[in-house]
Structure 1
Amino acid sequence: MTTTRRTWLWAVLALAVIVVVAAVGTYLGSPRPGGRMDANATGPDGAHALVTLLRDRGVEVVVADTVSDVAREARPDTLVLVAETQRIAGPDAGALLDRLAQVPGDLLLVAPDARARKALAPAIRSGPPRAFTAEPDCRMRAAERAGSVDLRTTATYAAEHGQPVRSCYEGALVRYHSGDRTVTVIGSASFMTNTDLARAGNAALAMNLAGARERLIWYAPQRIEGGKAGTATISDLIPSGVRWLVWQLCVALALAALWKGRRLGPLVAEPLPVVVRASETVEGLGRLYRSRRARDRAAAALRTATLRRLAPRLGLGPAPDPGILIAAVTQRIGGHPDLLWHTLFGPAPDSDDALVRLANALDDIERQVTHS
C-alpha cells in the first residue's frame, strides 16, 4: 500500500467518524421535552409514565404551563397539582403564589419550597429532610393502600399552631382541610418520576394522590415564571446543543492529532557534547555543599556511600539492619560498637573540621574491612 493511498484511507476514516459523531450529536442535542416533573417528558426525571397511567384510569389530566392556565382551568371539582415551585421566582412570585392560593379545587403540593409552602399551605411547618422507606402508619386511605414507599430524600412537616393535620410516613405526607378545600403536601417528588415510579408502593401512592379527583391540573413549570429580563442564570442562556458541539470539536481534534502526529521511535544514543571528569563533578558538588553549609547532606552522602560498599564485603544484603551491620563490622575489625555506631549512623557534624574527621574515619573503617 503506497503512502498516498494510506493517507487517503485515514482521511476517509476520519471523515466517516466525524459524520457519525455529528449525526449522534444532532440527534441528542435536538430540542425534546425532558424537564423534571414534566408531564410530557420520557426521561428519568419526567412524569410521563404517571400521567399516562392516570389517563388510562379515566382521570382528565390538564397540563398547565403558567399560573394563568391554572386559574383558567381550575374548578371546584378539580385537583391542582403544584410541583417545581422553585421556578416561581422573581419580583412577581408573591403575586403568582397568592393567585394559586385563590384558585378553586383541592391542592396537592409536591416538594414545595419555603415560600410556596407558606403561601399555599400555611397550616403546616417544615422539618428536617431525611431519606427512608417506611410504612404509612396513619389513617389516610391513599397512603394505607400504597403501603411502604421509597421517597428517597424527603422533607417532613408538622402542624402549625395546633392545626388538625393528618400525618403519614413519619411526617413526609400531611393533609388538612381549609374550608371546602383539601390541602395535601408531600416532601418528595422523586416517587412520581419515571425512574422511581416502580419502586415499592410509589406508583400506588402517586396514583392515589394525583387521581383523587376525576380532573387533574398538572402544574410543574419548566421555565422561570414571575421573573423579568436579567433574572436568567448563565446555564439558562447557553443553548442545549452547545455541549454536543464541543464534544464534536474534541473528537475532530483528537482524530487530527492521531492522523498528523508523529510516532515516537526507539531511543537513539547520541554522544555527549562535553565530557566532564568525575573529579570535577565531585569538586563542584563539594563546593555547592560548602556554600550552603549543608554539612548534614554531605555527611549523609558520605555515610550512604560507605554503607553501600561495606554491605557486600561483609556478606550482607543491599539494605542491612544497622544493628546487624555494626555487629559484622565489630567482628571483622574489632573496635567499640558504640564508636562505630556514632561514626556510621551518628548525628551530622557541627563544623567543617568535624566533617573532615568523619570522612577520614569512614575511609579508615572501609580500608580495615577491605584488608581484614
Structure 2
Amino acid sequence: MSVATPQSPPGQSRPTSPTARSTWRSSRMVLLLGGIVVLVAVLGVLLGPERVPERHLDPDDTSLAGSRALAELLRDRGVTVDRVDSVEAAAAKAATGDRVLLITDTTFFDELSLARIAGDRLVVGDVFGLEALAPGVRVEPIGGRVRSREPECGLPAATAAGSAFLGGMALRGPAGSAACYPTGDGHALVRFPYANGVITVVGDGDFMTNQRLAEDGNAALALNLIGTGKPVTWLVRPQTPPPLDLPGERGQSMYDLMPDNIRWTVYMAIVAVAVAGFWRGRRLGPVVTEKLPVIVRAAETVEGRGRLYRARRARERAADALRAGTIDRLTPRLGLASGAGRQEIVSALAARTGQDAQQVGAALYGPPPADDAGLVALAGYLDFMERQISEL
C-alpha cells in the first residue's frame, strides 16, 4: 500500500512497506557480520590451546580425578613413589628390590607380562586381565554403587581406617583371603597371599583421588594398603598410546602418513560448511499442532508387548521388565534412595509386608521363570506386594 508523505512531491507517493530489495540490503550486513563471528569462533576453537585432559589416579595429576595428594602423603611418610607408564619400566624397578606394584590401568599393557613381576601387587578398579593379575579372584554379577561403607572384616589395614568410599565390583577371593567392605554379592576389597608376596584388589579407586581422599577414612585406607614401607611402582596409562605397527610401515602411525597440509584442509572445509549452512539456513516457523490419526490406548500397547514376549518365548526379558518396574515403584515408597542395593530393598520390603526375606529376594532378584505359568505367578506375586505396600 502507498500513501503520500510530506516529503513526497505533490501527486507522488512512496512505499512504506519493505520491498525485497530493501530487505536484502538490510540483511546483507547482518549475514556478513554473522559469518565473520562464526569464522572467528571456529578458528578460535581450532587454533586455541588444547585442554589438558584429566588422568584418573595419576600420581602427577592435580585435578579432582588425579592422585597427586596421595602420592605426596606417601612421600612425606618416607615411601618412594615412582611413576611408570610401561611394563618394561615396572619390571626394571622390581629388579632393584622388593617393591609394591600399583596397577590402575592396563589398557595398553600385556597383563601376562605384568603378572610375572614379583612383589606385592595392588590392583585398582575394573582393569583388563584381572584373572592373570589376581588369580583366583572372581567378579560377581551384582555389585553395588560407590558409597561410604564399613569394613566389617578383621584386616588391620581396613579396620584401622574405618569407613571408606568404596563399591563398584563385587569381588570374591580364593580360600584364605581377607574380604572387606561388603557390596552386592561380594566385597569391594580382597587381599590374599601368593607365591611372591601379597595381592590386594579393590573394586573402585575413587577413594584414592584428590576429590575423595579427605573424606571418611579414605586417606588412612590408601596409606595402609600402599604405604607398607616398601617403594611403590605406580603404573599409569601412557599419555601417548604406542603406535600400531602395520606391515611395511613399522614404527609409523596413521597421522605420519597424512600430507602436512591435511589439517588446514579439514579446518577450511569445516569453516566452508558452517558458512554455507548459515547462508542457506532457514528460520523455523511456529510449531504446527496436528491431530493423531489413530489413538492407541496404553492397555493395548502393554498387551501387544506381552504378545511379542510370548511369541519369542522371552520369559527372562519379561521377568526383568516386571522386576525392574516393581523395584522402581517400591523404592520411594519404602523410603529408600534410588541407588539402594539389593539387601536394603529386600530387607525393607520384607519388614513392611511381613513376607519371608528369601521369598522376596527370589521374586525380585532370582532366576527367570522356567515356563509361562511361572511368569504369571511371578507377576501376581509382585502385584500382591505392591498392593500391600499401597494399603499400608
TM-score, normalised to structure 2, is 0.49
Taking the TM superposition and a 5 Å limit, the aligned residue runs for 1:136-175 are 136-159=151-174, 162=175, 164-170=176-182, 171-175=187-191
Paired with 2:172 and 2:255, the residues of 1 have a C-alpha distance of: 37
Cα displacement (A) at 1:62? 0.7
Q: From 109, 121, 124, give the equivalent of 1:107.
A: 121
Residue of structure 1 in register with 2:388 after alignment: none
What are the Cα deviations for residues 288-341 of structure 1, in whole angstroms up to 9, with x where unaligned?
A: xxxxxxxxxxxxxxxxxxxxxxxxxxxxxxxxxxxxxxxxxxxxxxxxxxxxxx
Residue of structure 2 in register with 1:83 after alignment: 104
What are the Cα deviations for residues 89-135 of structure 1, in whole angstroms up to 9, with x where unaligned?
A: 5xxx53x13432xx3x3211113547343x33325444335114320
| Residues 64/177 of structure 1: CA separation in 2 closer, same or farther (3 Å cut) | same
Higher relative contact order (CA 8 A, sep 6+): 1
The answer to whether the Cα contact below 8 Å between 1:172 and 1:186 also exists between their aligned partners in 2 is yes
Residue identity matched to 1:175: R
| Residues 137/229 of structure 1: CA separation in 2 closer, same or farther (3 Å cut) | farther
Taking the TM superposition and a 5 Å limit, the aligned residue runs for 1:348-359 are none
What are the Cα deviations for residues 325-369 of structure 1, in whole angstroms up to 9, with x where unaligned?
A: xxxxxxxxxxxxxxxxxxxxxxxxxxxxxxxxxxxxxxxxxxxxx
Residue identity matched to 1:87: F
Paired with 1:226 and 1:24, the residues of 2 have a C-alpha distance of: 27
Paired with 2:89 and 2:284, the residues of 1 have a C-alpha distance of: 66
Matched, 1:50 2:70: yes
What are the Cα deviations for residues 174-232 of structure 1, in whole angstroms up to 9, with x where unaligned?
A: 222335622212122333334544554333322332333352110123376798649xx
Paired with 2:70 and 2:52, the residues of 1 have a C-alpha distance of: 19
Paired with 2:66 and 2:246, the residues of 1 have a C-alpha distance of: 28
Taking the TM superposition and a 5 Å limit, the aligned residue runs for 1:231-250 are none
Where in structure 1 are there 5+ consecutive unaligned residues? 231-235, 266-372
Residue of structure 2 in register with 1:289 after alignment: none
Segment of structure 1 superposing worse, 13-22 or 72-81: 13-22
The answer to whether the Cα contact below 8 Å between 2:87 and 2:109 also exists between their aligned partners in 1 is no
Paired with 1:22 and 1:226, the residues of 2 have a C-alpha distance of: 29
| Residues 35/168 of structure 1: CA separation in 2 closer, same or farther (3 Å cut) | same
Paired with 1:151 and 1:33, the residues of 2 have a C-alpha distance of: 24
Taking the TM superposition and a 5 Å limit, the aligned residue runs for 1:212-361 are 212-213=228-229, 215-222=231-238, 229=246, 253=273, 257-258=277-278
Q: From 30, 36, 39, give the equivalent of 1:18.
A: 39
Where in structure 2 are there 5+ consecutive unaligned residues? 1-21, 248-252, 257-261, 286-392
Paired with 1:195 and 1:130, the residues of 2 have a C-alpha distance of: 23
Paired with 1:35 and 1:124, the residues of 2 have a C-alpha distance of: 27
The answer to whether the Cα contact below 8 Å between 2:151 and 2:180 also exists between their aligned partners in 1 is yes
What are the Cα deviations for residues 261-300 of structure 1, in whole angstroms up to 9, with x where unaligned?
A: 56699xxxxxxxxxxxxxxxxxxxxxxxxxxxxxxxxxxx
Residue of structure 2 in register with 1:59 after alignment: 79
Q: From 97, 110, 119, give the equivalent of 2:114.
A: 97
Residue of structure 1 in register with 2:352 after alignment: none
| Residues 262/67 of structure 1: CA separation in 2 closer, same or farther (3 Å cut) | closer
| Residues 7/224 of structure 1: CA separation in 2 closer, same or farther (3 Å cut) | closer
Cα displacement (A) at 1:76? 3.5
Q: From 3, 9, 34, give the equivalent of 2:54.
A: 34
| Residues 264/141 of structure 1: CA separation in 2 closer, same or farther (3 Å cut) | closer
**3-state secondary structure, aligned to 1:136:** coil
Q: CA RMSD in A?
A: 4.3
| Residues 114/14 of structure 1: CA separation in 2 closer, same or farther (3 Å cut) | closer
The answer to whether the Cα contact below 8 Å between 1:18 and 1:252 also exists between their aligned partners in 2 is no
| Residues 178/258 of structure 1: CA separation in 2 closer, same or farther (3 Å cut) | closer
The answer to whether the Cα contact below 8 Å between 2:168 and 2:188 also exists between their aligned partners in 1 is no
Cα displacement (A) at 1:66? 0.8
| Residues 199/20 of structure 1: CA separation in 2 closer, same or farther (3 Å cut) | farther
Q: Which protein has the larger Cα radius of gyration, Structure 1 or Structure 2?
A: 1
Identity %, equivalent residues: 34
The answer to whether the Cα contact below 8 Å between 2:103 and 2:235 also exists between their aligned partners in 1 is yes
TM-score, normalised to structure 1, is 0.52
Name the structure where helix makes up a greater proportion of residues.
1
Q: From 218, 221, 232, give the equivalent of 1:205.
A: 221
Paired with 1:257 and 1:193, the residues of 2 have a C-alpha distance of: 44
The answer to whether the Cα contact below 8 Å between 1:49 and 1:194 also exists between their aligned partners in 2 is yes
| Residues 261/77 of structure 1: CA separation in 2 closer, same or farther (3 Å cut) | closer
Residue of structure 2 in register with 1:312 after alignment: none
Segment of structure 1 superposing worse, 247-256 or 80-89: 247-256
**3-state secondary structure, aligned to 1:184:** strand
| Residues 113/56 of structure 1: CA separation in 2 closer, same or farther (3 Å cut) | same
Cα displacement (A) at 1:139? 2.3
